[in-house]
Amino acid sequence: MSSNAIAITGLGVLSPIGCNIAELADSISTARSGISLIDAPPLARSFAAGVIDRDFTKLFKPLERPFLDRCQQMAILAADQAIEHAGLGDLSELGVRAGVHYGNVNGGVSTAQAWYQQLLNNGAQAARPFSAMAIMGNAGAAHISIRHGIRGPVLTHATACASSGVAIAEAARAIATGRLDVAIAGGAEAPLTASLIGVFDGTRALSKPDPEDPARTCKPFSIDRSGLVLGEGAAFLVLESIAHAQARGADIIGYVAGSGIASDAHHIGMPQSEGQILTLRDALRDAGLSPRDIDYINAHATATNGGDEIESTSLRTVFGDGSDAPRVSSTKSVHGHLLGATSALEAVITLVAMERSILPATAHLDNIDPDCALRHIQVTPVPDHPIRAALSFSCGFGGTNVALVFTREHWS
């Protein structure tokens, strides 16, 4: 493994399958689905979505609330969890040696939609005060910085579905090169509004709800798959140099052993295997590992027709699909696609799976598409299965791909 491996000392999550790490672990051990039906007025029909059935507004002071869209509320709370888990608090003493790397695509969608409604329906001539701060894409990162006294680089990455994975990779790189000692890395997204759901419905990529059980709507790799399901949430990791973590006696959960980022340079909305293969091989090279060192892959697989086939081809090319290949699953089957936050959530799921020795399943994968042949974990999670090294893979519109390699132990 690379000598530049980065310690992971804290995890935090708000997701459709758990609003803390214990809830998340319980869900991935049972393949519990967090997908249900929602309405999004004024859209006329219902949609399947990965929903967090909680209102977080009252967790913030009245003077804070005007600045905070639901997206930023979740970013703050998930980052708070991760920082507390790491045993950290006020990071101001680190000066520029602590930073935030944040992934987000859509900013404060609810706030933006509310303003459009006021403008177009009510003839309002100006938005309510502080709307600009609640809408902007970097607001989640800014609030985390303000809340915890983080004075180093506070950067927001917007590379579609790869956004928060790129944030984690770049945070790890900043530590590996000596720029930072501590980084809070992850992402948040709150896209369950009519304005954004309608945009994705317009791409013809959204799945219609399963008529028998909406919780089974998302079916990655399945011959029966019919499209993606949107979800909401936030997830964060605390990354530290090994020296910094050891000096303060921190518990180390695992390591970012390496990462790869590469682009398809092909099409704004259609992936291609060549860029994905480059990404996967670059991540293995960076980690100093071979394909056979990887025990588990959390795949991007969104349950779209072309996307799942192309990704399967990429994974087979690099890892094979025989009995010695890594086990593969897509947990989007239970939490949906969190867009800019999906990489971070799946990274956290991968790390929890490593810590608990669970292989998460692709729920509802009763009938594998032959074009998606891999060493799948179907329907039911596998308990008591040690994972020494794992890879989490994400691919974004525009062609940016990111692969994160995690290890349970630090070995060379």
The reported pLDDT for the residue numbered 271 is 87
The reported pLDDT for the residue numbered 297 is 98
Model confidence pLDDT, tens digit, residues 227-241: 999 999 999 999 999
The domain defined by 6-247 folds into Peroxisomal Thiolase; Chain A, domain 1 (3.40.47)
- The tokens describing 318, both together, are 């690099």
Give the chain's mean pLDDT.
96
* pTM of the shown model: 0.97
Instruction: Show the low-confidence residues of the chain (pLDDT under 70).
Output: 1-3, 411-412
Q: Distance between CA 186 and CA 350 in Å, rounded?
A: 14
Give the residue numbers annotated as catalytic, written as ranges. 161, 300, 337
> What is 257-407's CATH number?
3.40.47.10
Task: Give ranges for CATH 3.40.47.10 in the chain.
Answer: 6-247, 257-407
Residues 6+ apart with CB under 8 A from 188: 71, 72, 74, 75, 78, 102, 104, 140, 233, 234, 235, 340, 341
The reported pLDDT for the residue numbered 1 is 54
Question: 3-state DSSP call for residue 42?
Answer: coil
Q: Which of 218, 187, 161 is nearest to 394 (CA)?
A: 161
The reported pLDDT for the residue numbered 244 is 97
The reported pLDDT for the residue numbered 317 is 98
The reported pLDDT for the residue numbered 89 is 86
Model confidence pLDDT, tens digit, residues 55-96: 999 999 999 999 999 999 999 999 999 999 999 989 999 999
The reported pLDDT for the residue numbered 409 is 87
The reported pLDDT for the residue numbered 411 is 60
